[in-house]
Amino acid sequence: KAGVTQTPRYLIKTRGQQVTLSCSPISGHRSVSWYQQTPGQGLQFLFEYFSETQRNKGNFPGRFSGRQFSNSRSEMNVSTLELGDSALYLCASSLLPDSTYEQYFGPGTRLTVT
């Protein structure tokens, strides 16, 4: 069974640009969560999607947005990029958005903003 896949794996963007990251969950998984990992802050929760609806959102500005498609694939978008957005963005999937279902993480997308 294929794991969580994230594309692209690496990305370099310039300040002010926007970026879209993609996440394909494990087959059959319907819940997708996004996290940002930076050296100083560790992993921080961005948002969670289930059935194409955002269920929860972390403490991030509105420049960070996401969506989920009917096949459970998810994208996150960051507009007006800032240097501080440079991070590893991790996606995690689980069967359902229930605490009893373990989350499986993808390898992440490394975003560098110059």
List of residues contacting another protein (CB under 8 A): 4, 33, 35, 37, 39-45, 48, 56, 58, 90, 92, 97, 99-108
Q: How far is the CB of 43 from another protein (least distance, A)?
A: 4
Q: How far is the CB of 95 from another protein (least distance, A)?
A: 12
Q: Tokens representing 75?
A: 């994208």
Q: Which is nearer to another protein, 79 or 105 (CB)?
A: 105
Q: Which is nearer to another protein, 16 or 107 (CB)?
A: 107
Q: Which is nearer to another protein, 66 or 108 (CB)?
A: 108
Q: How far is the CB of 18 from another protein (least distance, A)?
A: 24
Question: Degrees (nearest 5) of the Cα angle 69, 72, 75?
Answer: 60
CB neighbour burial string for 41-57, b if at least 16 within 10 angstroms, e if fewer: eeeeebbbbbeeeeeee
